[in-house]
């Protein structure tokens, strides 16, 4: 393995400290080759993995269904591989050290923790840091579905599920909709069956929609033992789906637990940031946090918990915006969108008015092949920061094609590069699995099985998001068409006839309490992070503006959501700075920083 003693020592530490004391850790050897697996395998065994790797090399890893981090050791090289969707343990590294938790870099004597400005400003914009960047300078993280090889003191990364792998098969299936529905149901039930082997009690996360409803319906077709279900709602808020979740629980006979978010949960954010590693903030984060806490506090201890996460994205999202973008380009009027995007950086677009709404919708359509910007725009960040730093184009966009042959390719491009590689791998399953780890719960995602992934990527667009281009552009397309066709006859009409509200929290709920809000604003304003990175008067203006609108009635939902998102992004950065740059770890509540 060369002469890099630092990395070899760090690798040994990873195995000894991060892995060996935990459950779901497997070690296997075959002559001079060794396999270490941390996580869950659903369709194979460690023996098969090692034997197949010896015979066929790294391509054999593509068929594995599971949530894991895997290490393969050969005499002259090391391989690190994360499951396709990145639900297993993370892997952070540089040329000297490696670990499964980013916070461990703060404990390394010979490593200086410095902020990565590109990563931090990317987070403030889109709410997460795309791999391989991390918030620490000179530290990288391994993306889901990728193989990192260490040989002769050199690292190389191979994406086993790259764009070509997806696009070559996308939409190629010729089976009928009836055949596809039957096969989809079979694969869904097979995925669940593989995940509940040898269990006497299964847990489920229930919302009021097709995904969690599909899990509990399919589960009851193949499983007659005890079910425990968990649902999260919002106190005094019309977004709550607790009544719908209760309908599912009653129909399928589960022991049911509920929790209503009231806004006080934001005070636990330091614990969450420490677990997440990189700064992260997304509307569903507190839903995942409270759900996993509820599981722990219920004392039911299900052996496996099924989540419905990621299914929307495997089918493809934003059909309306994709269709409008395509039509605007074909009609030659996209230059008007770009013009509105440019002038949308002016002050007239900062308040809750027709200008803000026009800009919000225009940018969603214009930038549909990018992750959503619910935080600060690059223009805002360029004006706010005190470093004279100009935020670059997002690195993950470099893989986007320059042109598309037709609308189907345009759809599949977003389906893969944004829905799957970014939203599923870097956001949804990342936060869900990290919150599960935080409370030592055993959470998995049946819709993310390897077989379902391979099956769905071959389905034509019309099976995923049904409708003509005109219907999609008018918002009349039918999302998750194949999924709903399978489940509509099975689920209660209260579920199938109501539009799902979404698995995210209305973020202003965390800033509603005036005393709590003032405390948060005080911590942000006096923080070392703000002093190091921003023009203080800009931050004070942002906080003062939110204070003025906090109790205002009638604001557009997405205006309030974006403003609250920006505040919570700043708060998350402040907490991260205390943990990773100031290296303070003696606080568990936001109040401890006041």
Q: What is the pLDDT of residue 501?
A: 59
| DSSP-derived 3-state class of residue 71 | strand
Q: What is the pLDDT of residue 153?
A: 86
pTM of the predicted structure, to 2 decimals: 0.94
Average pLDDT for runs of 10 along the chain of length 594: 59 64 72 92 96 93 96 92 96 92 92 96 97 97 96 93 95 98 98 97 95 98 97 85 94 97 97 97 95 97 96 97 96 92 88 93 95 94 93 89 94 97 97 96 97 98 97 96 97 86 80 96 98 97 94 86 97 98 94 91
In 3D space, the residue among 360, 323, 318, 321 whose CA is nearest the CA of residue 340 turns out to be 360
> For residue 354, with 0-12 CB atoms within 10 Å meaning exposed, 13-18 middle and 19 or more buried, which class applies?
exposed
Q: Which long-range contacts (CB under 8 A, 24 or more apart) does 14-20 make?
A: 14/98, 14/99, 14/100, 15/71, 18/89, 18/99, 18/100, 18/101, 19/100
Name all domains of the chain by residue range, CATH numbers in brackets.
5-160 (3.60.20.10), 166-315+406-495 (3.40.50.620), 508-594 (no CATH)
Instruction: Looking at 177-267, list the stretches that DSSP marks H as alpha helix, in order from N- to C-terminal side.
Output: 177-195, 210-222, 242-252
| DSSP-derived 3-state class of residue 306 | strand
Tokens of 13: 């530490």
Rg of the Cα atoms in the chain: 24
For residue 228, the tally of other CB atoms under 10 A from its CB is: 19
Distance, in Å, from the CA atom of 503 to the CA atom of 446, rounded to the nearest integer, reads 17
CA 593 to chain CA centroid, Å, is: 28
| DSSP-derived 3-state class of residue 40 | strand
Q: What is the DSSP string of 495-562?
A: HHTS----S---GGGGG-SHHHHHHHHHHHHH-HHHHHHB-HHHHHHHHHHHHHHTT-SS--HHHHHH
Torsion, Cα 128 132 136 138, to 10 degrees, reads -160
Q: What is the pLDDT of residue 552?
A: 83
Q: What is the 3-state secondary structure (H, E, C) of 144-181?
A: CCEEEEEECCEEEEEECCCHHHHHCCCCCCCCCHHHHH
Task: Give the single-character DSSP code of 302.
Answer: -
Q: What is the pLDDT of residue 23?
A: 57
- Side-chain half-sphere CA neighbours of 83 within 13 A: 29
Tokens of 441: 């719960």
Q: What is the DSSP string of 106-159?
A: GG-TT----B-HHHHHHHHHHSS--TT--SBTT-EEPPTTEEEEEETTEEEEEE
Q: What is the pLDDT of residue 373?
A: 93
Q: What is the pLDDT of residue 439?
A: 97
The CA-atom distances, in angstroms, between 554 and each of 1, 352, 437 are 63, 10, 39
Q: What is the pLDDT of residue 503?
A: 60
């Amino acid at each position: 393995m060369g002469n890099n003693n630092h990395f070899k020592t760090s690798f040994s530490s990873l195995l000894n400290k991060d892995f060996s004391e935990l459950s779901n850790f497997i070690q296997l050897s075959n002559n001079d080759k060794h396999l270490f697996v941390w996580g869950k395998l659903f369709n194979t065994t460690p023996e098969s993995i090692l034997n197949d790797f010896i015979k066929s090399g790294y391509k054999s890893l593509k068929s594995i269904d599971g949530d894991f981090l895997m290490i393969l050791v050969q005499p002259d090289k090391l391989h690190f591989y994360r499951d396709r969707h990145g639900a297993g343990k993370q892997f952070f590294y540089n040329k000297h050290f490696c670990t499964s938790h980013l916070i461990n870099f703060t404990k390394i004597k010979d490593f200086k923790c410095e902020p990565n400005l590109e990563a931090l400003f990317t987070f403030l914009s889109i709410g997460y840091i795309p791999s391989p960047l991390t918030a620490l300078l000179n530290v990288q993280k391994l993306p889901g579905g990728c193989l990192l090889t260490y040989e002769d003191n050199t690292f190389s990364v191979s994406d086993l599920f790259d764009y070509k792998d997806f696009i070559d098969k996308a939409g190629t299936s010729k089976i009928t909709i009836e055949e596809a529905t039957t096969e989809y149901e079979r694969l869904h039930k097979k995925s669940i069956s593989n995940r509940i082997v040898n269990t006497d009690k299964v847990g489920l996360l229930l919302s009021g929609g097709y995904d969690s409803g599909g899990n509990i319906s399919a589960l009851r077709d193949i499983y007659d033992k005890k079910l425990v279900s968990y649902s999260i709602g919002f106190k005094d808020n019309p977004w709550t789906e607790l009544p719908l979740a209760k309908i599912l629980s009653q129909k399928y006979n589960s022991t049911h637990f509920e929790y209503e978010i009231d806004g006080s949960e934001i005070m636990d954010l330091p614990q969450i940031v420490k677990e997440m590693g990189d700064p992260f903030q997304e509307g569903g984060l507190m839903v995942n946090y409270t759900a996993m806490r509820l599981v722990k506090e219920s004392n039911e201890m299900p052996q496996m918990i099924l989540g419905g996460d990621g299914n929307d994205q495997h089918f493809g999202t934003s059909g309306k915006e994709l269709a409008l973008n395509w039509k605007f380009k074909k009609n030659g009027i996209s230059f008007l969108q770009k013009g509105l995007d440019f002038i949308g950086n002016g002050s007239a677009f900062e308040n809750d008015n027709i200008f803000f709404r026009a800009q919000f919708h225009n940018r969603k359509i214009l930038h549909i092949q990018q992750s959503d910007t619910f935080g600060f725009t690059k223009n805002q960040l360029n004006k706010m920061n005190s470093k004279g730093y100009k935020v670059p184009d997002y690195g993950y966009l470099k893989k986007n094609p320059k042109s598309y042959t037709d609308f189907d390719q345009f759809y599949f491009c977003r389906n893969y590069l944004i829905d799957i590689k970014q939203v599923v791998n870097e956001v949804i399953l990342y936060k869900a699995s990290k919150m599960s780890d935080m409370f030592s719960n055993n959470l998995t995602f049946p819709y993310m099985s390897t077989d379902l992934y391979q099956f769905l990527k071959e389905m034509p667009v019309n099976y995923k998001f049904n409708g003509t281009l005109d219907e999609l552009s008018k918002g009349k397309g039918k999302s998750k068409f194949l999924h709903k066709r399978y489940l509509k006859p099975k689920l209660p009409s209260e579920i199938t006839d109501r539009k799902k509200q979404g698995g995210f929290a209305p973020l202003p709920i965390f800033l509603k309490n005036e005393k709590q809000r003032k405390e948060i604003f005080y911590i942000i304003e006096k923080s070392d992070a703000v002093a190091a990175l921003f023009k203080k008067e800009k931050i004070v203006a942002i906080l003062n503006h939110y204070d003025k609108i906090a109790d205002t009635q009638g604001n557009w939902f997405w205006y309030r959501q974006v403003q609250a998102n920006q505040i919570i992004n700043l708060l998350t950065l402040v907490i991260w700075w205390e943990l990773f740059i100031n290296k303070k770890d003696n606080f568990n509540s936001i109040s401890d920083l006041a």
